[in-house]
Structure 1
Amino acid sequence: MPPSVVLVTGVSRFLGGHLAARLAANPDIDRVLGVDTVPPSRDLLRRMGRAEFVRADIRNPLISKIISRASVDTVVHSALMANPASSGGRTAMKEMNVIGTMQLLAACQKATSVRRMVLRSTTAVYGSSPRDPALFDESMTPKDLPSGGYAKDAVEIEGYLRGFARRRPDVSVTVLRFANFIGPHIDTVFTRYFALPVVPTILGYDARVQLVHEEDALAVLERATSEEIPGAFNVAADGVLMLSQAIRRAGRLPLPVPGLAVGPVSKLFRGARIVDFSPEQMRLLNFGRVVDTTRLRRQFGFTPRWTTTQAFDDFVSGSALRPVIPPDRVEALERLVLERGITVGRQVDRLLTAVGGQR
């Protein structure tokens, strides 16, 4: 059964704003409210159509009045922030993520009209460590708990949501743990990272990268809002890319950095406001992380349209990234290396044959 009145948080950003636009285009939904501390861009506001923008801070108890007065029955919390630089610093980001979620859940607990809650979470709750399994499913816990940043915020938020679910068992709760977003329109730390002409990597490591296309992410959020599908679900594309493969497909140059130099290099990029590398993101680039999406397909009923490779290639082509090294030169170098390797191999074979004949 579709909801009647939906409230979406974080509508000034890509996912929240475009989700509000999709929901507003659904005639079965009577009303869509979009909440954020700053208004969406003019273009995004136009796309949102009949969705109503309400300038409000979820950290303020006044959010309770907005929910009760509008008789909101479905809340989509998509306002989680992952980038301290765009959030006013780590302290402000934690306040918005954790304190804001606590206030929002308190408001929902009081509102008898609320019947459905959807949380946009992250696979970062599983952490990244050298002891990780090949695949994380929804029942698993991290080998090493995230010690700070967005990942720790997400772990705390999911904990508060479980408490809310116990206090309000009549509310259907859906947790969507998204892999890193990628696409030609969304702006994330990952998209900025792969747009760098020279991409820093950790010397001696080649992490597995699993992504989710921005359109698939929106489709999952829309389905979770429109239908009652409770539970926790990993949301990620099929397949993985090695970090070195992704850098090459983007036409970038890798810059292997020794482990001891990672801190100063990330600080340099943060200071220049190019890319904000948090500790958990550096661990992801070190060890990688891959999740199992069986439950997403079988129980949630969604199969991603893009694989990880296809999603990444769409980001590269849609962002009009110009390769630092032209592809024809890379191909020529590969052919040269391959030909030299074949030649050397033949010489070794002849030498071994000659030695064997002498014996």
Structure 2
Amino acid sequence: MGKVVLVTGVARQLGGRLVRRAQRDPGVERVIAVDAVEPGHHLGGAEFVRTDIRRPEIGRVLAEHRVDTVIHLDVTGTPLGAGGRTSVKETNVIGTMQLLGACQKSPTVSRLVIKSSTSVYGSAPRDPAVFTENTPPKSLPSGGFAKDAVEVEGYVRGFARRRPDVAVCVLRFANILGPCADSPLAQYFSLPVLPTVFGYDPRLQFVHEDDVMEVLGMALHEPRRGTLNSGTFNVAGEGVLLLSQCSRRLGRPTLPVLLPAVTWVGSALRTVGITDFSPEQFRLLTHGRVVSTAQTRETLGFVPKFTTAETFADFARSRGPGLLPPESLERAVDRMGQSLATGAGEALPVPKQRARRGRRDAGQGA
């Protein structure tokens, strides 16, 4: 008998892809797809159950289908359809609480995989150069999806203490990008002009949506013998990109904004559809964030196929050309930098001692 896998959040592209992938896994017998809304994409031969994880009915679904593996993907930063920030937060936090309560009562559930985010580390000026899974944040996120992720992980740790017999795997994904990416950061990079924080050029990491599928597929099963079967893992592509590099590769100009005006800009962006571009998102675009993936490689045996740069390149191709061709924008930035450097050099006064030495040398040469 194979696994009976329940996947939440299947109305989104990520959930739909995982449902289709899980059905091709020889170790999976059945897949139960759960969401509060009807998905607009095909789910293969999976059984779709329309239910809201914020309601107690999710416990009945676990019992009825004798589910042994739960993959919780319904933790997100963007609403689906006409829902707003309040609805998203309720699904993220209240929905997770209800799902964990149902899993705690279920005698058949033996494995739980949670989609989380590296945003739980926050972004602060005195952050370490690289976060590991055990590094405490300098400043906890105060709002938006990042705060939701922190609360979700807190409830998951409580569940793990109450049910030590269940293998719990928390996957902290860096910002997910790709042709089908749907996140506040993907929407930000799709703007014709990118607002940035004046004087800052943060380091960013990305993970490709295909690599997300791969590691979720691996997390379905117990890792190889001799390693941990549960824990928390950072998942990100190798390397980093500066925000300035991202803008040039997209061919989109930037609009530097003074730090005090950032809150106003965030409010303006929300009015045009970036619903959760919270202060936490702007902190990321100010201070950046880089995580170590050593534990993921060593314990799960997972190495992403796409680097951060390759992930961003694939995303950029899917969004089409920006206002300026990337090559032209890069040449313009380089020329401007050279002009500024040359102008600064010409404006520098020559020290008197050096000037006298120059005249003396000229006289000797004559």
TM-score, with structure 1 as normaliser: 0.91
Question: Which one-letter code corresponds to 1:64 in the other structure?
Answer: G
1:36/1:54 contact within 8 Å kept: yes
- Name the SS of the counterpart of 1:306 in structure 2: coil
| Greater mean alpha carbon deviation, residues 62-71 or residues 92-101 | 92-101
Residue 221 of structure 2 corresponds to 226
Given the superposition, is the C-alpha separation of residues 275 and 103 from structure 1 closer, same or farther in structure 2, using an over 3 Å criterion? Answer: closer
Is 1:104 the equivalent of 2:105? no
Mapped partners of 1:253, 1:204: distance in 2: 16
2:141/2:147 contact within 8 Å kept: yes
Residue 261 of structure 1 corresponds to 261
Q: Aligned match of 1:50 in 45, 49, 72?
A: 45
| Greater mean alpha carbon deviation, residues 301-310 or residues 256-265 | 256-265
Residue 126 of structure 2 corresponds to 131
Q: Equivalences for 1:108-187 in 2 at 5 Å?
A: 108-187=103-182
Q: Report how far residue 59 of structure 1 moved.
A: 0.8
Q: Report how far residue 113 of structure 1 moved.
A: 0.5
Mapped partners of 1:196, 1:207: distance in 2: 18
Q: Equivalences for 1:1-359 in 2 at 5 Å?
A: 4-41=3-40, 44-45=41-42, 48-83=43-78, 88-228=83-223, 229-274=229-274, 276-320=276-320, 322-330=321-329, 332-333=331-332, 336=335, 356-359=357-360
2:85/2:275 contact within 8 Å kept: no
Mapped partners of 2:86, 2:346: distance in 1: 63
- Name the SS of the counterpart of 2:71 in structure 1: strand
Q: Report how far residue 300 of structure 1 moved.
A: 1.1
1:81/1:150 contact within 8 Å kept: yes
Given the superposition, is the C-alpha separation of residues 123 and 339 from structure 1 closer, same or farther in structure 2, using an over 3 Å criterion? Answer: closer
2:85/2:276 contact within 8 Å kept: no
Mapped partners of 2:86, 2:95: distance in 1: 13
Deviations 1:282-319 (A, max 9, x none): 11111111101100111110111111111001101123
Mapped partners of 2:335, 2:148: distance in 1: 49
Segments of structure 2 that go 5 or more residues without pairing to the other structure are: 224-228, 361-366
Deviations 1:51-108 (A, max 9, x none): 1111011111111010011000000000002125867223222211111111101111
| Greater mean alpha carbon deviation, residues 296-305 or residues 141-150 | 141-150
Q: Report how far residue 14 of structure 1 moved.
A: 1.7
Mapped partners of 1:202, 1:277: distance in 2: 14
| Greater mean alpha carbon deviation, residues 61-70 or residues 85-94 | 85-94
- Name the SS of the counterpart of 2:5 in structure 1: strand
Number of aligned pairs?
352
- Name the SS of the counterpart of 1:30 in structure 2: strand
Given the superposition, is the C-alpha separation of residues 56 and 308 from structure 1 closer, same or farther in structure 2, using an over 3 Å criterion? Answer: same
1:87/1:93 contact within 8 Å kept: no
Given the superposition, is the C-alpha separation of residues 251 and 64 from structure 1 closer, same or farther in structure 2, using an over 3 Å criterion? Answer: same
2:204/2:288 contact within 8 Å kept: yes
Mapped partners of 1:143, 1:69: distance in 2: 44
2:4/2:69 contact within 8 Å kept: yes
Mapped partners of 1:357, 1:269: distance in 2: 57
Question: Which one-letter code corresponds to 1:358 in the other structure?
Answer: R
Q: Report how far residue 153 of structure 1 moved.
A: 1.4
Question: Which one-letter code corresponds to 2:46 in the other structure?
Answer: A
Q: Report how far residue 276 of structure 1 moved.
A: 3.8
Segments of structure 1 that go 5 or more residues without pairing to the other structure are: none
2:177/2:315 contact within 8 Å kept: yes
| Greater mean alpha carbon deviation, residues 270-279 or residues 216-225 | 270-279
2:6/2:31 contact within 8 Å kept: yes
2:145/2:276 contact within 8 Å kept: no
TM-score, with structure 2 as normaliser: 0.89
Mapped partners of 1:281, 1:84: distance in 2: 16
Given the superposition, is the C-alpha separation of residues 179 and 339 from structure 1 closer, same or farther in structure 2, using an over 3 Å criterion? Answer: closer
Given the superposition, is the C-alpha separation of residues 279 and 84 from structure 1 closer, same or farther in structure 2, using an over 3 Å criterion? Answer: farther
Larger radius of gyration: 2
Q: Report how far residue 109 of structure 1 moved.
A: 0.9
Deviations 1:149-195 (A, max 9, x none): 21111111111111111111111010000011011112111111111
- Name the SS of the counterpart of 2:54 in structure 1: coil
Cα root mean square deviation, aligned: 2.4
Residue 364 of structure 2 corresponds to none
Given the superposition, is the C-alpha separation of residues 78 and 335 from structure 1 closer, same or farther in structure 2, using an over 3 Å criterion? Answer: closer
